[in-house]
Amino acid sequence: MSFPTDLSDEEERVARRRLAELAGSFLDDGTLVDPRWQEAFLRTWRHPYVPAYYPAVDRSCVLCVDGTQRSSWLEAVYSNQTLVTKVVQVPLSRTLRPATTPMYTSSSTLPSLVLRMLETLDIHDGHRVLEIGTGSGYTCALLCQRLGSGQVTSIDIDPELVELARERLAASGYAPTLAAVDGAEGYPPGAPYDRILSTCAVPAIPGPWLEQAAPGAVILTDVRGKLGGTLVRLRVDADGVATGRFVPYAAGFMWMRPAVEPATPGMVRYDDQLACSTTDLDPALLLEDGLFGFVAQWYLPTASRGVGSADGQPVLHLTTPDGAYAEVATTPVDGGFPVTQSGPQRLWDRVVEAHEFWQGAGRPGYERFGLTATPTEQHVWFDTPDSPHRWVLPGIGGG
């Protein structure tokens, strides 16, 4: 379905005013630094790329068609917020939740985060850029405005999103290279790239990205697991080794998928050899503190977490693919939080170990951690690449 995104004269005046206000606020808070990105932002309409969106509150689609809904649409598009642009229904057989439920699979990212990422990439005239995660096409439009369409390649796993973006970009006068392919494989026909920007989350840097990066290239992506993560900025050397630090702020994206349909979640629990104990560490810290979740992620790189109930009380669940399981009560009993663990490893013990390291190091922020990615191994490190504090990532996707 297509929607009429042409603006009336009054709507265009409103959009230009709101765009200028956003640019002003981004200049004031340091999000926008490079005048060339300021110019690109002011010259790039967002509304053609977000003709409809799904509010997080009720997940009913807000369209740009007419009346009050159109007014709400225009206001949202020219505000600093992420707008969900595609939702798929997940059947009961694919979810632990008790009913068919919508799952977000694409969005138009928070404009301030998009601009912060583009500034972080340190893009220069003549650079060839690969964007992984075309989505609505808006970030691709900013890149085309800044560099010219011939310098930009954008890929997405979802053919529908790619074709919609192609139409919208063409209507705005842009003609980048677009392809519906697995993002983990990159796009060899356009390589080598000077900058690789991923607007989806990965558990490790896919090998093809390293292979397709020119010497001196910069890769910016969200490296995370189910417990935490944030953006990391890597510089690739002549040997194809990428090294760099995580950014000093929290940021997260939807997972990169190897297929259009969302993956099937699962949870295995082994109830043999149960170990029961108590802990002084409040499990709420793992649920609520994103920075601690980031640190705990490297101690439990394959763990998943969830919240359930046991005997009518809320509990934190941790599981790993090898069948290990931990259940931690979120309500203390006699000053401690009851813990039940089973399987081949003690998951909560690893969380406690992560907390002891984090506390002992003075609760360091994201930027104290970095990542080194080679064709054969990837690891997260603390403070320096040769630090004794390092955690090997479990696998290298896409090659």
Mean pLDDT of 3-25: 89
275-360 CATH pick, 2.30.30, 3.40.50, 3.30.160, 2.60.40 = 3.30.160
Mean pLDDT of 298-304: 95
pLDDT in tens, 55-80: 765 555 555 555 567 888 888 999 99
Q: Where are the alpha helices (DSSP H) in 157-226?
A: 159-171, 207-212
| Backbone angle region of 73, left / alpha / beta, with phi > 0 → left and psi within -120 to 50 → alpha | alpha
pLDDT in tens, 149-180: 999 999 999 999 999 999 999 999 999 999 99
| Residue 328 tokens, joined | 């931690």
What confidence score (pLDDT) does residue 110 get?
Answer: 87
Mean pLDDT of 34-57: 89
Spatial CB neighbours of 175, under 8 Å, sequence gap ≥ 6: 149, 169
pLDDT over 70 percentage in the chain: 85
What confidence score (pLDDT) does residue 140 get?
Answer: 97
Closest C-alpha to 151, from 119, 171, 173, 125: 125
Mean pLDDT of 73-99: 68
What confidence score (pLDDT) does residue 66 get?
Answer: 52
Say what the pTM is.
0.88
- CA–centroid distance for 137 within its chain: 16
Query: Is residue 263's pLDDT more than 60?
Result: no
pLDDT in tens, 200-239: 999 999 999 999 999 999 999 999 999 999 999 999 999 9
pLDDT in tens, 353-362: 999 999 999 9
pLDDT over 90 percentage in the chain: 73
Specify which of 20-34, 70-84, 245-259, 304-318 reaches the highest per-range mean pLDDT.
20-34
Using the structure block, give the residue that is written with the tokens 């890929």. 155
Residues 9-181, CATH architecture = 3-Layer(aba) Sandwich (3.40)
Spatial CB neighbours of 104, under 8 Å, sequence gap ≥ 6: 54, 84, 86, 87, 254
Using the structure block, give the residue that is written with the tokens 């002011």. 42
Domain limits, the chain: 9-181, 275-360
> What are the φ and ψ backbone dihedral angles of 325, each rounded to 5 degrees?
-150, 140
Question: Between β-strands 337-342 and 313-319, what pairing exists: parallel, antiparallel or unpaired?
Answer: unpaired
